[in-house]
Chains A and B, each alone.
Chain A
Amino acid sequence: MQVEDAGKVDSVEMKMLLDALPKGSVSDPSAQRLAHFISSISNNKVPVSSLSRIWTLGSLQARVTAGYFAYWLRSRFSDAEEKDRLKREAHLAAALKLFGTMGYLRGAVMKIGQMLANLPEVVPEEFAEVLSALHFEAPPMHYSLVREVFLDEFDREPEEMFASFDQQAFAAASLGQVHRARLHSGEEVAVKIQYPGIARTIKADLRNLRLLLQPLCLAIDWQDTLAKLADIERMLLMETDYAQEAVFGKLARSTFTASDRVVVPQVYVEFSTKRVLTTEYLQGCHLDEYLAGNPAQAERDHFTHLLTVATYRLYYRLHWLPADPHPGNFIFMADGRLGIIDFGCTLALSDEDWIFSNEAIQAALDRDLPGLNRSIAKACRFDDPDDMEPDHLDVIRQGFYWFMEPWQQEGIFDFGDRDFFLRGINNVIEATRKGYTRSVPMTIWSNRFTFGGRAFCYKLKGRCEFRKIFLQEWQHQ
């Protein structure tokens, strides 16, 4: 439905948009042309946008996101012929229209857009905020829909299965929502229910994203982008299988003892299927609520210690990357234990990836520069470090050194140190700006694991004896 034409875009909004858009240094110093281009394609509004989480290109932030996206794509063809450029712009316009049709990716794309819009002055707090919001969003389900899922999965209504079942969800989960319930045997449980048909939407979203990125198909890293998208799709589809998550949950639970003070909730298999996952309910709060209580430093350190033990236990014993260290997946329990509740996005490393991952760490620990360079080249999909531009190698290596800092420091490491976190962000920004993004798909998850975990600890302002923990977990693997 055409509700306003391009010429009537609110002038205040347009000014904000212009301010926010990146400026091309030569061809379009004020980004006027780009802003006009975006506004001219962004006015097709879906008439019922509030019905779920439908997002349209009509909103300012969406335009900024789209604008950055367009700018980024264009910059890849800055030296192309004018005719070629026009062709690509037409392609881009069509692709951007697709942008608004994406279902579950929208939230994630918006957050990336917000961060891009702040790139020149991105601050650690925003970075941490954006990271924690980067996940798929399913629309909320009303109780009648939940009941239909139950009838299909168990042939029974929730009330028939549980002694009590809270009709209102208490939390959004990846790809669904979570309800509290009580078993007939008395246990309090959390029941995660998946929004119906989500796998199809994920496939459609990623298909759209590939189309959206089509203008890049001739760029050198196109195959790399495709490989990564394929890996993302694989992981997301795996996340739709709650039976798989139950297996991960049970394995993880068996990895910790009471003295670890880390709790993975018990899975109730008889109340779980591929679409419904019932686990023990852990009483406690999430990061924001925990921080609102202004906890003492010793307490923050305690939880940072537990988080580090938990994640590196999973890494060394099970060869897993808990690739979604989202704050919603951790529970601060009143008795000082840390709960880990979501294993949907867990990457179980192949033997090859496991060995490769440790080679790089070992080379850094041994200060074996040639070995580290070889690992970096391999991670960036080069046969040899000499095939990389020196600056490329250097930027990526700096990032890896940053990653390794806590491993190399004896005693307490302060993850709340703003300068430390900022250096990590700046490295990511530098690598992105310079187009040093080619890498093996595993790095998507290892980066998410690292940055997600560190953003969490940064928000927590926590410290721990990282090196000691890592050595312990490494020795007991």
Chain B
Amino acid sequence: MRISEQAKIETRARILDKAAEIFTLKGFEDTTTRDIALAAGLATGTLFNYFPSKETLAMSMIAEAFREGSTDFLRRRNGKEDLAEELFLFIASGLRRLRPLRPFLGPVLERSLSPFPRKNICQEGETARLGHLDAVQKIIAGHGFTEAPDYVAMTMYWSLYLGILAFWTNDESPNQEESQSLIDYSIRMFVQVISGDVPDKGEVHAG
């Protein structure tokens, strides 16, 4: 009997739900695919039909949060933001959607989004990365940069973003408010660098 598409979608959603629960409970490292399959009422082999690995599974959740964050961002954007503010809104909207996954996010991001060369590239992670960077390029282009910023700017951005994620996953302050401050400062700095503003010497603030 063929399983209907609808049933497949439901099973996939159930796996993601259960996996999030167990990851939160046991942590990413200590959770096995068997734990997840058991919780979802599946044979481990069946689970692999949906997700080839634990990493892919976790990264799928993250990618979904990214997508939801992008939708939120587009809805919340009012068109009056300058570049720094718009980038801030984009990042903050994404993090808000990632927040439920925060307890187990660190090791997943480390494995799936690491900027260092890896043997096995997590396809979900790579797609999420490219989607995120594409959105950032569009935002930057929307502010009068006629050419897409080159790999230097995007590499800088991605390093900054990973740094923000790393800080955020460890941020113990209420509502991760220290991360907000970090995003604010680092995005302003990034915008200043790519827009080539000549740094002043501080005199304008001396009064």
| Contacting pair B88 A56 (CB below 8 A) | no
> Does A354 reach chain B (CB closer than 8 Å)?
no
The reply to whether B206 and A51 form a contact with Cβ atoms under 8 Å apart is no
Chain A, 21-70, CB within 8 A of any chain B CB: 45-56, 58-62
Produce 1/0 per residue, B157-197, CB < 8 A to A: 00000000000000001110111111011001100110001
The answer to whether the Cβ of A356 comes within 8 Å of any Cβ in the partner chain is no
**Distance in angstroms between the alpha carbons of A54 and B92 in the assembled complex:** 23
Contact A54 B202 (CB under 8 A): yes
How far apart are the CA atoms of A414 and B182 in the complex, in Å? 49
The answer to whether A59 touches B203 (Cβ under 8 A) is yes
Distance from B40 Cβ to chain A, minimum over Cβ atoms (Å): 30
Contact (Cβ within 8 A) B206 A62: yes
Interface bin, chain A: 35 or more
Q: Determine if B81 and A51 form an interchain contact, defined as CB atoms under 8 angstroms apart.
A: no
Q: A144-B88, A167-B80 are in contact. Are A55 and B206 (CB under 8 A)?
A: yes
Residue among A59, A110, A197, A198 having the largest count of chain B Cβ atoms under 10 Å: A197
Measured between beta carbons, the chain A residues less than 8 angstroms from B200 are: 49-50
- Contact among B80, B173, B185, B203 for A51, CB-based, below 8 A: B185
A281 on interface, CB distance cutoff 8 Å: no
Residue numbers in A under 8 Å from B193 (CB-CB): 48
| Known A-B contacts A45-B199, A61-B206; A148 and B92 likewise in contact (beta carbons under 8 Å) | yes
Q: Complex: how many Å from CA A142 to CA B80? A: 11
Given A151-B96, A152-B175, A50 contacting B181 (CB threshold 8 A): no
Q: How distant is the Cα of A143 from the Cα of B206 in the complex, in angstroms?
A: 26
Given A48-B193, A148-B92, A167-B80; A56-B201 close (CB under 8 Å): yes
Could you tell me if A52 and B185 are in contact, using CB atoms closer than 8 angstroms? Answer: yes
Measured between beta carbons, the chain A residues less than 8 angstroms from B199 are: 45-50
**For residue A114, which residue of chain B has the nearest CB?**
B206
Instruction: Contact check, B76 vs A197: say whether CB atoms are below 8 A apart.
Output: no
| Contact of B184 with A141 in the complex, beta carbons under 8 Å | yes
- Whether, in the assembled complex, A196 has its beta carbon less than 8 Å from a beta carbon of chain B, the answer is yes
Q: Do the beta carbons of A50 and B206 come within 8 Å of each other? A: no
By the criterion CB–CB under 8 Å, are B92 and A144 in contact? yes
CA distance A167 to B81 in the complex (A): 11
Residue numbers in A under 8 Å from B201 (CB-CB): 45, 49, 56, 58-59
Please measure, in the bound complex, the distance between the C-alpha atom of A151 and the C-alpha atom of B175, giving whole angstroms.
10
Contacts of B63 in A (CB 8 A): none
Q: CB distance B197 to A50 under 8 Å?
A: yes
B204 touches A (CB below 8 Å): yes
CB <8 Å contact, B180 and A196? yes
Interfacial chain B residues near A50, Cβ < 8 Å: 192, 197, 199-200, 204-205
- With A48-B192, A50-B197, A142-B82 known as contacts, the answer to whether A55 contacts B202 (CB < 8 A) is yes
Q: Is B85 an interface residue (CB 8 A)?
A: yes
| A378 at interface, CB cutoff 8 A | no
Task: Give the docked Cα–Cα distance between A46 and B199 (Å).
Answer: 8
Q: Are B184's CB and A145's CB within 8 A?
A: yes
User: Within residues 99 to 119 of chain B, which ones have a CB less than 8 A from any CB in chain A?
Assistant: none
- Check A144–B206 contact: CB distance below 8 A: no
- CB neighbours of A151 from chain B (8 A): 96
The answer to whether A195 has its CB under 8 Å from any CB of chain B is: yes
Are A62 and B202 touching (Cβ within 8 A)?
yes
Closest-CB distance, B34 to chain A (whole angstroms): 37
- Collect the chain B residues with CB atoms within 8 Å of residue A54's CB: 202, 205
- Contact string, B70-109, partner A, CB cutoff 8 A, digits 1/0? 0000001000111011101100100010000000000000
Is the C-beta of A327 less than 8 angstroms from some C-beta in chain B? Answer: no
Q: Are A196 and B202 in contact (CB under 8 A)?
A: no
Roughly how many angstroms separate A53 CA and B205 CA in the complex, as a whole number?
A: 7
How far, in whole Å, are A145 and B175 apart by their CA atoms in the complex? 13
Residues of chain A within 8 A of B204, CB atoms compared: 50
Q: CB of A392 within 8 A of chain B?
A: no
Interface contact B202-A59, CB-CB below 8 Å:
yes
Q: How far is A141 from B205 in the complex, measured between Cα atoms in Å?
A: 17
Asked if A319 lies at the interface with its beta carbon under 8 angstroms from chain B, I say: no
Decide if B89 touches A144 in the complex (CB within 8 Å). Answer: yes
Would you call B81 and A144 a contact (CB within 8 A)? Answer: yes
Q: With the chains together, A141 CA to B185 CA distance in Å?
A: 10
Shortest B201–chain A CB gap in Å is 5
Task: List, in ascending order, chain A residues with CB within 8 A of B189's CB.
Answer: 48, 51
A58 CA to B206 CA, complexed, in Å: 11
The residue on A at minimum CB distance from B171 is A197
| Residues on B with beta carbons closer than 8 Å to the beta carbon of A399 | none
Question: What is the minimal beta-carbon distance from B203 to any residue of chain A, in angstroms?
Answer: 5
* Inter-chain contacts of A153 with B (CB < 8 A): 175
Considering the complex, give the chain A residue whose CB is closest to the CB of B202. Answer: A59
Residues in A whose Cβ lies below 8 Å from that of B86: 144
- Report the Cα distance A86→B177, complex, angstroms: 42
Chain B residue numbers with a CB within 8 Å of A91 are: none
Option from B88, B96, B178, B188 in Cβ contact (under 8 Å) with A197: B178
CA distance A51 to B202 in the complex (A): 10
Q: Determine which residue in B178, B188, B202, B205 has the highest number of CB atoms from chain A within 10 A of its CB, and name it.
A: B202
- Chain B residues whose C-beta falls within 8 Å of the C-beta of A59 in the assembled complex: 201-203, 205-206
In the assembled complex, 6 residue pairs joining A and B whose CB atoms fall closer than 8 Å, in A order, are A51-B192, A59-B201, A145-B85, A145-B180, A153-B175, A196-B177
- A interface with B by C-beta (< 8 Å): 45-56, 58-62, 110, 139, 141-145, 147-149, 151-153, 157, 167, 195-198, 200-201, 275
- 8 more CB-based (< 8 A) A-B contacts, given A48-B192, A139-B184: A48-B193, A52-B188, A54-B205, A58-B201, A59-B205, A62-B206, A142-B84, A142-B85
